[in-house]
């Protein structure tokens, strides 16, 4: 039943959008969001990027968007409607839109598509992503310094490479400080459900974790952490408002510059399908101010960040063993991007079984 | 605090909005009106409760605002389906879509604000009982209301004259009309009660469960509430049990994951729904019992002959 409603909502939104679209000579740069643009997390970060894009080009472009588009068959309809309405470039901003984007792109060879965080591309489909794992490594370092029990809780969304990579990086960062560090993982199987995220946070705290980190989209886990008096990391947007005395730092996605660059390429006619995967040094992700921690931890965090920026430190540097005990990276070896983007295994030290 | 106690506390918070919203829908359906707009009324209650709390600083005013908003919003449904005799299923779906949209609009300025949490009311003496005390007697007002309402509705439906009338209307509105019962007026009241309960459930979401406002924060709980009514075969006590069963299964699956038992998380996430399906099958096994409890005129429009 919920599916039907979502379908209806989507179609209603799409219809409204199509009706509003008029024949103008502005270039249309379109966005598909998985959540609401005010979710305080992932989608909000994309929408801030969209606004930066609109401000940069002003009257030259329009930036229509569709919110709350469910991943799955409905996504295909939504993206197709966007493409049909005359968009020059469509940003589909969730991993689950990957197959739908590729399918629609086949039907509209003249429309350019950019899919966030996926691994499938085509002549008119580029992918873009940020090296979030760099931020998660720093969070792991901080967690290991601050956790008295050496145990952190991790609220994960779906077992996709992006999320698995984040968990591994967090654990590896923590173990660079405390080799015995453990992490408990709960898969919420949703990106967006404040109640469920809060429940997962409560379950983790009740089982004794004293640091929380999340890979879901709302500030509910941060609130639970604040209520229970433990520390937590924000996700995708600066969540300091939800936990002024709780947030240690947050990975903040800053998509604006990329959106401007790619739109400029479309306007200039120089757009090509590329696979962008930038990190801290390119400013596509930034760390929210390091707060609520002693100065020495802050200093270590800043040093780690500087090392990652300069390229001196790659978060996935061996020796790293896989969870099953087999070797993955030899001493000093660095993981290649392909392995990371398809990551479907845990490294040693993750106290969870990866859902298949 | 033991782990079991901690789990139960979380279960209570998760189950309360389900019990409240489905209790309201139960009364509405007992009167023969199927309102699929629970999700919409709930989310409207949530946003108005949050807004009123921000404006006044008092979550109790927020609760009142949530209740009033749910009741008023359901009045729209009542007008369309009872006075204009529109299709109940379609109108209910429309109400949900409208509620989700309008609440997003109203709530825009409140996104990212940290809310005021409704504080628990500690009942003296009773709260000192080991184990049970902290779980049942150190709760917030909305929890106490939810339990009182289950008692109240059960008594009202099956022990009072007015409740008998409601059930009569739900079973056979033509006969009830012939007996001189005001079918439409009673249905209006039942629908508004349903709206008020859904609004209260929404207030619980934005004041207790997660004291904040985010769009779509009901996240499908209205639909679960609808399913619970059928699950409970329109009996308040079973509904209470069903709500807590659902809450317990959804919370324990999170704990099972955190313990690292190695059960696939997708399976665990599906458990609450699987449990619901299994119980439904068991209940519907006894066809006579199901027929006795199902309001025969559920979803049927009534036009009085003049």
Q: Which domains does chain B have, with CATH numbers?
A: 3-293 (1.10.3470)
Per residue in B214-223, pLDDT (tens digit) is: 888 998 999 9
- Please give the torsion angle defined by the CA atoms of residues B87, B90, B91 and B93, in that order, rounded to the nearest 10 degrees: 160
Is the full-model pTM beyond 0.80? yes
| Same domain, yes or no: A150 and A231 | yes
B269/A contact by beta carbon, under 8 A: yes
| Same domain, yes or no: A106 and A67 | yes
Task: Please count the other Cβ atoms lying within 10 Å of the Cβ belonging to residue B258.
Answer: 24
Mutate to test the interface with A, among B135, B257, B263 (most CBs of A within 10 A): B257
B54/A contact by beta carbon, under 8 A: no
ipTM above 0.95, yes or no: no
Q: pLDDT at position A22, please? A: 45
Tokens 């006894």 belong to B286
Contacts with A352 from chain B: Cβ below 8 Å: 257, 260
B249/A contact by beta carbon, under 8 A: no
Within a domain: A289: yes
Within a domain: A44: yes
Pairwise pLDDT comparison (A192 vs A57), residue with the higher score: A57
Contacts with A196 from chain B: Cβ below 8 Å: 219, 250
Mean pLDDT of B182-203: 97
Contacts with B262 from chain A: Cβ below 8 Å: 353
Contact A200 B117 (CB under 8 A): no
CA distance A270 to chain B (A): 38
CA distance B159 to chain A (A): 34
Per residue in B3-62, pLDDT (tens digit) is: 888 899 999 999 999 999 999 999 999 999 999 999 999 999 999 999 999 999 999 999
How many alpha carbons fall within 13 Å on the CB side of residue A114? 29
| Same domain, yes or no: A27 and A43 | yes
CA distance A47 to chain B (A): 14
| Same domain, yes or no: A142 and A80 | no
| Same domain, yes or no: A314 and A193 | yes
Separation between Cα atoms, residue B101 and residue B105, nearest integer Å: 6
Within a domain: A275: no
Strand (E) or helix (H) holding A113? strand A112-116
Domain holding A26: CATH number? 3.40.50.2300
Residue A293 structure tokens: 């921690």
Q: Name every residue whose Cβ is closer than 8 Å to that of residue B160 and which is 6 or more positions away in sequence.
A: none
CA distance B271 to chain A (A): 13
Q: State which residues form the domain around A294.
A: 132-252+285-341
Q: pLDDT at position B306, please? A: 58
Asked if residue A216 lies in contact with residue A190, where contact means CB atoms within 8 angstroms, the answer is yes
Give me the residues of B, 112-141, that contact A with CB < 8 A.
Answer: 112-114, 117
CA distance B162 to chain A (A): 33
| Same domain, yes or no: A142 and A100 | no
How much of chain A, in percent, has pLDDT values that exceed 90?
74
Q: Name every residue whose Cβ is closer than 8 Å to that of residue A313 and which is 6 or more positions away in sequence.
A: A304, A307
Of B14, B112, B265, the CB nearest to A199: B14
Of B3, B100, B108, the CB nearest to A206: B3
Mutate to test the interface with A, among B216, B243, B247, B249 (most CBs of A within 10 A): B216
Within a domain: A347: no
How much of chain A, in percent, has pLDDT values that exceed 70?
93
Residue A48 structure tokens: 């801030």
- The number of domains in chain A is 2
Q: pLDDT at position B215, please? A: 85
Band of residue A16 on the pLDDT scale cut at 50, 70, 90: very low
Give the helix ranges, DSSP H, for chain A: 2-20, 42-57, 73-84, 98-107, 132-146, 161-175, 194-206, 220-228, 256-268, 295-310, 337-341
Mean pLDDT of B88-115: 91
Band of residue A18 on the pLDDT scale cut at 50, 70, 90: very low
Bridge partners (DSSP) listed for residue A187: A156
Domain's final residue, options A130, A164, A197? A130
Separation between Cα atoms, residue B304 and residue B306, nearest integer Å: 6
Within a domain: A118: yes
The candidate with the shortest Cα–Cα distance to A113, out of A32, A197, A229, A210, is A32
By CB atoms closer than 10 A (0-12, 13-18, 19+), residue A15 is exposed
Of B7, B100, B220, the CB nearest to A206: B7
Separation between Cα atoms, residue B265 and residue B280, nearest integer Å: 23
Contacts with A218 from chain B: Cβ below 8 Å: 210, 214
A319: preceding bond cis by omega (within 30 degrees): yes
Residue B134 structure tokens: 């902290």
Q: pLDDT at position B1, please? A: 60
Mean pLDDT of B70-94: 96
Band of residue B172 on the pLDDT scale cut at 50, 70, 90: very high
Of A12, A159, A186, the CB nearest to B258: A186
Asked if residue A132 lies in contact with residue A166, where contact means CB atoms within 8 angstroms, the answer is yes
| Same domain, yes or no: A9 and A156 | no
| Same domain, yes or no: A233 and A321 | yes
Per residue in B119-154, pLDDT (tens digit) is: 999 999 888 888 888 889 999 999 999 999 999 999
Domain's final residue, options A98, A130, A162? A130
Within a domain: A307: yes
| Same domain, yes or no: A238 and A195 | yes
Domain's final residue, options A73, A97, A130? A130
Mean per-residue pLDDT over chain A, rounded: 90
Asked if residue A337 lies in contact with residue A130, where contact means CB atoms within 8 angstroms, the answer is no
Residue B287 structure tokens: 């066809």
Within a domain: A174: yes
Residue in chain B lying closest to A221 (CA): B210
Q: 3-class SS at A300?
A: helix
Band of residue A90 on the pLDDT scale cut at 50, 70, 90: very high
CA distance B254 to chain A (A): 6
Q: pLDDT at position A24, please? A: 52
Separation between Cα atoms, residue A168 and residue A342, nearest integer Å: 13
| Same domain, yes or no: A200 and A182 | yes
The candidate with the shortest Cα–Cα distance to A281, out of A114, A115, A165, A130, is A130
Confidence check: pLDDT of A1 > 60: no
Within a domain: A355: no
B25/A contact by beta carbon, under 8 A: no
Asked if residue B246 lies in contact with residue B152, where contact means CB atoms within 8 angstroms, the answer is no
| Same domain, yes or no: A105 and A12 | yes
Asked if residue A315 lies in contact with residue A339, where contact means CB atoms within 8 angstroms, the answer is no
Residue A132 structure tokens: 């979030």
Q: Name every residue whose Cβ is closer than 8 Å to that of residue A214 and which is 6 or more positions away in sequence.
A: A154, A155, A197, A201, A221, A222, A232, A233, A235
Residue A235 structure tokens: 């996700």
Per residue in A231-270, pLDDT (tens digit) is: 999 988 888 988 999 999 999 999 999 999 999 999 999 9
DSSP letter, residue B82: I
Residue A2 structure tokens: 């919920």
Contact A199 B3 (CB under 8 A): no
Per residue in B243-301, pLDDT (tens digit) is: 999 899 889 889 888 887 777 877 877 888 888 788 778 877 777 777 788 899 999 99
Confidence check: pLDDT of B167 > 50: yes
The candidate with the shortest Cα–Cα distance to A132, out of A53, A42, A205, A59, is A42
| Same domain, yes or no: A113 and A172 | no
Q: 3-class SS at A180?
A: coil
């Amino acid at each position: 039943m919920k599916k039907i409603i979502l379908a209806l909502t989507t179609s209603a939104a799409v219809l409204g959008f199509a009706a509003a679209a008029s024949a103008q000579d502005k270039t249309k740069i379109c966005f598909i969001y998985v959540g609401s643009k005010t979710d305080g997390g992932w989608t909000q970060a994309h929408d801030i990027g969209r606004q930066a894009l609109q401000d940069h080009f002003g009257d030259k472009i329009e930036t229509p968007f569709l919110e709350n588009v469910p991943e799955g068959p409905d996504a295909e309809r939504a993206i197709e409607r966007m493409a049909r309405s005359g968009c020059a470039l469509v940003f589909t901003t969730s991993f689950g839109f990957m197959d739908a984007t590729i399918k629609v792109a086949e039907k509209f060879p003249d429309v350019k598509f950019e899919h966030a965080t996926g691994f499938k591309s085509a002549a008119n489909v580029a992918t873009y992503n940020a090296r979030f794992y760099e931020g998660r490594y720093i969070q792991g370092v901080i967690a290991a310094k601050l956790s008295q029990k050496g145990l952190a809780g991790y609220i994960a969304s779906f077992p996709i490479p992006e999320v698995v990579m984040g968990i591994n990086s967090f654990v590896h960062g923590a173990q660079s400080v405390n080799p015995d560090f453990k992490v408990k993982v709960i898969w919420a199987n949703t990106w967006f459900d404040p109640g469920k995220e809060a429940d997962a946070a409560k379950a983790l705290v009740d089982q004794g974790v004293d640091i929380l980190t999340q890979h879901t989209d709302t500030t509910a886990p941060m609130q639970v952490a604040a209520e229970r008096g433990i520390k937590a990391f924000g996700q995708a947007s600066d969540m300091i408002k939800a936990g002024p005395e709780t947030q240690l730092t947050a990975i903040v996605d800053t998509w604006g510059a990329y959106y401007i660059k790619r739109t400029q390429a479309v306007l200039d006619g120089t757009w090509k399908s590329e696979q962008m995967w930038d990190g801290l040094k390119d400013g596509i992700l930034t760390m929210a101010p390091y707060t609520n921690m002693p100065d020495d931890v802050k200093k270590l965090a800043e040093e780690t960040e500087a090392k990652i920026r300069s390229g001196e430190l790659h978060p996935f540097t061996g020796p790293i063993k896989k969870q099953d005990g087999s070797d993955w990276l030899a001493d000093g070896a660095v993981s290649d991007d392909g392995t990371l983007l398809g990551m479907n295994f845990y490294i040693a030290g993750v106290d969870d079984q990866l859902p298949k | 605090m033991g782990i079991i106690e901690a789990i139960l506390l979380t279960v209570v918070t998760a189950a309360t909005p389900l019990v409240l919203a489905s209790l309201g829908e139960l009364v509405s359906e007992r009167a023969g009106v199927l309102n699929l707009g629970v999700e919409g009324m709930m989310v409207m209650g949530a946003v108005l409760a949050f807004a009123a709390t921000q404006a006044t600083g008092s979550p109790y005013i927020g609760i009142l605002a949530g209740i009033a908003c749910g009741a008023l919003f359901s009045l729209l449904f009542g007008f369309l389906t009872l006075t204009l005799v529109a299709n109940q299923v379609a109108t209910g779906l429309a109400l949900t879509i409208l509620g989700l949209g309008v609440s997003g609009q109203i709530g825009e300025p409140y996104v990212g604000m940290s809310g005021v949490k409704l504080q628990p009311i500690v009942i003296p003496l009773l709260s000192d009982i080991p184990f049970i005390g902290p779980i049942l007697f150190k709760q917030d007002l909305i929890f106490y209301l939810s339990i009182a309402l289950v008692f109240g509705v059960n008594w009202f439906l099956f022990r009072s004259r007015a409740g008998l009338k409601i059930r009569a209307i739900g079973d056979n509105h033509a006969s009830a009309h012939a007996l001189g019962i005001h079918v439409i007026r009673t249905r209006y009241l039942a629908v508004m009660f349903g709206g008020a309960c859904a609004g209260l459930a929404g207030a619980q979401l934005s004041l207790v469960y997660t004291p904040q406002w985010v769009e779509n924060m009901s996240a499908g709980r209205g639909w679960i509430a609808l399913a619970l009514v059928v699950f409970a075969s329109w009996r308040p006590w079973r509904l209470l049990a069903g709500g807590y069963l659902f809450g317990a299964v959804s919370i324990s699956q999170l704990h099972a994951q955190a313990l690292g038992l190695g059960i696939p998380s997708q399976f665990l996430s599906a458990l609450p729904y699987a449990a619901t399906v299994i119980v439904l099958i068991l209940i519907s096994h006894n066809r006579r019992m199901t027929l006795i409890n199902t309001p025969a005129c559920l979803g049927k429009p009534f036009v009085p002959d003049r």
